[in-house]
């Protein structure tokens, strides 16, 4: 198996083969319109081993980690965990931080749910 794919499956603990391609994850995703690749595509592309386009995509940082897709997936595939795993793979590479922690306060807005702020911090390494 492709090394990147193997690593993502291991970090996320997700079995992409459980996906029955119903698209409920993308039907439920609140960030859908912001994303280039949508939750169901993350699952499908990881399954096919097409990891690099995902790693380069801004979609990684548009996912709010709200876990609506995880909650509603009828097959328990957990797409958000896949997104998280790809994100981790990127930020674990030196100098690949999307933002620094100091950039965050300026981006905060009071309508942003607290869960999104907490999860945003999880997207940046120290």
Q: Which residues of this chain interact with another protein, rule CB under 8 A?
A: 18, 20-29, 32-33, 38, 40-41, 68, 72-76
Nearest-angstrom CA–CA distance, 62 and 119: 11
Q: How far does CA 96 lie from the centroid of its chain? A: 16
Nearer to another protein, 29 or 54 (CB): 29
In the complex, minimum distance from the CB of residue 26 to another protein, in angstroms, rounded to a whole number: 4
What number of CA atoms fall less than 13 Å from residue 33's CA on the CB side?
1
Nearer to another protein, 20 or 101 (CB): 20
CA distance 98 to 61: 8
Shortest separation between residue 69's beta carbon and another protein, angstroms: 8
Q: Least Å distance between CB 58 and another protein?
A: 17
């Amino acid at each position: 198996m492709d090394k990147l794919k193997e690593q993502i499956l291991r970090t996320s603990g997700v079995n992409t083969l459980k996906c029955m391609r119903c698209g409920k994850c993308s039907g439920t995703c609140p960030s859908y319109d912001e994303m280039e690749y949508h939750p169901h595509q993350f699952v499908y592309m990881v399954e096919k081993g097409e990891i690099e386009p995902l790693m380069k995509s801004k979609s990684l940082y548009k996912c709010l980690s709200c876990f609506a897709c995880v909650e509603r997936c009828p097959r328990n595939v957990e797409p958000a965990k896949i997104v998280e795993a790809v994100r981790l793979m990127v930020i674990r590479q030196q100098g690949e931080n999307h933002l620094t922690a100091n950039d965050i306060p300026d981006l905060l807005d009071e309508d942003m749910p607290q869960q999104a702020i907490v999860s945003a911090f999880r997207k940046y390494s120290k």
